[in-house]
Amino acid sequence: MEQLIETKLGWLELQQWQMIEDRLRKLEEKPAAIEESQERIEFKVDQLKFNDPVAKVVQGAQEGALQQDKAEEIEIEHRKQNVIVHGVPESNEDSPEQRIEEDTTVLAAMFHEIGADDVKLESVVRLGKRSDDPAHPRPMKIVLDSVEGKVKLLRNTKNLRLKRREVGRRCLFTKT
């Protein structure tokens, strides 16, 4: 009977060892299967990265937005030198060149009166459509040579309003 018990115990031990070995073998195989699955997933992700049309569209949109932002920043930097002048009477001349010349002369006189003789004009443009009503002159956009000139001009405009000149009472300088 003891022999029978020992035989059965030996047989049970053998079965347990075999079961433990089977489980260990399965556990050892799982990481290899997981690694293989991970490699397949990484390969698919790489394919999607390089061949995905949506990613290309998104990348193109991002590049377009960056270019648009840069263009907008350049435009804003350029506008820093602009000033809008309201209330300056329009010339009655027929030629656009003569009207621009007269506007430049009026602006030079105003600059002299407010003590901004050193501020240089790059261009003068009347905004909007020309009307026949002299009571409502079009505003002028003036482009100055520097931002410092713009600051000086806007700071000194109070001098123009303090003087009792016809143009000074109706003229208004604004930033753009």
Q: Is the pLDDT of residue 166 over 60?
A: no
Host H or E run for residue 173: strand 172-175
**Cβ(153)–Cβ(115) under 8 Å?**
no
Residue 167: predicted pLDDT:
44
Amino acid identity for residue 18 in this structure: Q
What are the b/e assignments for 80-110, b being 16+ CB within 10 Å? ebbbebeebebbeeeeeeebbebbeebbeeb
Band (pLDDT 50/70/90 cuts) for residue 55 is low
Mean pLDDT of 75-86: 88
Residue 44: predicted pLDDT:
82
Residue 139: predicted pLDDT:
92
Six-digit token pair at 145? 């040579």
Instruction: List, for residues 86-111, the tens digit of each pLDDT value.
Output: 888 888 888 889 999 999 999 988 88
Q: 10 burial class (0-12, 13-18, 19+ CB within 10 angstroms)?
A: exposed
Look at 98 and 25; give whichever has higher pLDDT: 98
Q: Is the pLDDT of residue 168 over 60?
A: no
What is the three-state SS of 124-159? EEECCCCCCCCCCCCCEEEEECCHHHHHHHHHHHHH
Instruction: List, for residues 151-164, the tens digit of each pLDDT value.
Output: 888 888 877 766 64
Percent with pLDDT over 90 in the chain: 13
Q: What is the mean pLDDT of the chain?
A: 81
Domains of the chain, by residue range, sit at 2-75, 79-175
Helix, strand or coil for residue 94?
A: coil
Helix, strand or coil for residue 115?
A: coil
Look at 159 and 7; give whichever has higher pLDDT: 7
Q: Is the pLDDT of residue 71 over 50?
A: yes
Amino acid identity for residue 124 in this structure: V
Q: What is the longest distance spanned by two Cα atoms in the chain?
A: 134
Q: Is the pLDDT of residue 169 over 50?
A: no
Domain 79-175 has CATH 3.40.605.10: no
**Cβ(49)–Cβ(55) under 8 Å?**
yes
